[in-house]
Chains A and B, each alone.
Chain A
């Protein structure tokens, strides 16, 4: 099974991003998704910078994919997306139907997790438009995946998000700016101060969600390390790990070992434990509330 690194969901500064991908070059991942997918105001890196990183990853034998913005609001964002779609060198992950529209018939592409593929008819439509891989939406469960795998279009690869805080929603509003009593247009890039997002707790102190600009993530970390055998049996091709500031390369090693059959999932789970600030969850996989932890209960 291949391992992928999803796009960095947080606003890291240029140096941090450069250092991160300098390490990724030597890390045991097969596919790396690059680019800003959350907020178009975050421009620490421009397209030439991302292309430069993609070239270096490509030279190291990895597949580099440019990932597009999830919520398109302004014409300028659509124009940037078109530049990405027509880069001519690297394949693209479409996180919105606007990107699918631009990529259709132009170049093979990846359908990201924020395009709602819930059934084989939508997946076939994506295949006809030129998709060669799809990432299962996070709220779907194993029964849905099994049914989709049984009838997936020829040549379509399947990728499943297996580790990281879940991207649960997007808004026009910036919740990080709101937490600082700032309007989005004068946000001062406060999200740069939270390299793993801003924890949101209930009034009785329960960790609940994480604020990341216009995105709301889960507080708990989605973790399917115990389910890798099942994912393999279902014919899943790629396991996606979502970048976080803490322990990313230890996380990669833990999953690599299990994916290659060199490590028991329980040993990997122990390795991952320090890097789940508020504990694991896996409910979505079992058709339960996403925040639940079902395996091991």
Chain B
């Protein structure tokens, strides 16, 4: 079971590789990838250097081109694939079926992974991508319970990668347009969710307010820590109650079910967070490396160490964690 870590920058990539990642994933510095944030990601030269750095140290490199190009963007996305093919990367992570078709025809030897943005949650959906494009690995959306993951594993004809740690996406990835409803930009269309340029903070004696394109996402008391206003993690009013109507600010953490995922045959554990700091990447990589090594050495007796949980909570969104959809009660 390998550890796949985020690289939003060269320092983050080095942090991942130096702390034990089996593979890193990265994207180009534009809207072709789903973490299209200012100041992040790689141009072609940097990507070359990133691949060299990782390969010299035995780590593999995956490149994500996982947004959905509209007709006016098609040529640019194809050029991104063409450039990726020159890098000597170990796999290309794609979401758009049209782009996957182009890639499979043009570069039949390039290993393809289906992005979580491809929304494939069943062996039937995965089978479509395997049959048409020879997809070798699929990243599952964060919507399946542990039992459902185990059932998919029994019938799937590709490797399966699941999210193990990081900010929790509450919705089926690739099928959420909440962000474009509010801001005009979504993960599918622009590679961003709740983009920073649409965020406004308002300070007053009553506290702090966060807005996304004018829509009030949350209100914080003067002494209350404030989080980034991801719109599904705000407090809203439903039926007369004000609460986190969709989800609290929290992180996914699978340490508790690591042996179950391992025994089910999951190929890789993915860490979310290309937008996070190199320090985050270093800490999470180091901790998960230790946990995965302990788990694969003795899955029957594995229990997460308290310090691992603390180390991960320290860098987690909301400083707390959940099993998310892996656990039925969460649903």
Contacts and interface: CB of A to CB of B under 8 A. Distances in A.
> What are the 7 closest A-B residue pairs judged by CB atoms, nearest first?
A121-B98, A147-B71, A98-B124, A122-B98, A172-B325, A290-B181, A172-B143
A125 B97 contact: yes
A119 interface: yes
B222 to A, nearest CB: 16
Given A139-B188, A168-B181, A179-B245, A71 B216 contact: no
B331 A174 contact: yes
The interface residues of chain B, by DSSP majority, are classed as mixed
13 contacts: A72-B121, A78-B123, A119-B71, A123-B98, A147-B70, A172-B330, A175-B246, A198-B238, A198-B239, A200-B236, A202-B215, A203-B242, A208-B215
A204 interface: yes
Contacts of A125: 97-98, 101, 132
Interface stretch (B170-178, B264-272, B285-293): B170-178
A138 interface: yes
Contact of A97 (B70, B120, B186): B120
Contact of A289 (B171, B174, B183, B232): B183
A242 interface: no
Interface string B122-162: 11110111011000000000111100100100000000000
A97 B119 contact: yes
A263 interface: no
Interface in B291-330: 324-325, 328-330
Interface string A54-88: 00000000000000001111110110010000000
B102 interface: yes
A228 to B, nearest CB: 22
B170 A173 contact: yes
Contact of B181 (A122, A123, A166, A175): A166
B180 interface: yes
A183 B328 contact: yes
B119 A288 contact: no
Contacts of B101: 121-122, 125
Contacts of B35: none
Chain B interface: which size bin? Answer: 35 or more
Contacts of A170: 171-172, 175-176
A211 B239 CA distance: 11
Given A98-B124, A179-B239, A289-B182, A171 B245 contact: no
A1 B324 CA distance: 45
A283 B183 CA distance: 10
Interface in A201-232: 201-206, 208-209, 211, 216, 218
Contacts of A198: 238-239
Given A70-B175, A97-B128, A200-B237, A171 B143 contact: yes
Contacts of A99: 124
Contact of A206 (B148, B216, B330): B216
A4 to B, nearest CB: 21
A206 B171 CA distance: 23
B177 A290 contact: yes
B297 to A, nearest CB: 32
Contacts of A184: 328, 331
Interface in B186-213: 186, 188-189, 213
A123 B97 CA distance: 9
Contact of A139 (B102, B145, B186): B186
A71 B172 contact: yes
Contacts of B218: 203
A114 interface: yes
Contact of B97 (A102, A122, A173): A122
A38 to B, nearest CB: 12
Contacts of A175: 245-246
Interface string A270-290: 000000000000011001111
Contacts of B330: 172-173
Nearest to A144: B70
B128 A204 contact: no
A73 B236 contact: no
A121 B181 contact: no
A148 interface: yes
A189 interface: no
Interface string B73-91: 0100000000000000000
A109 to B, nearest CB: 13
A121 B182 contact: no
B55 to A, nearest CB: 32
Given A148-B71, A166-B177, A209-B178, 20 more contacts: A98-B124, A101-B125, A116-B188, A122-B98, A140-B70, A168-B176, A168-B177, A168-B178, A169-B171, A169-B176, A170-B171, A171-B171, A173-B247, A173-B330, A183-B329, A184-B328, A202-B237, A203-B235, A203-B236, A206-B215
B2 interface: no
B74 A121 contact: yes
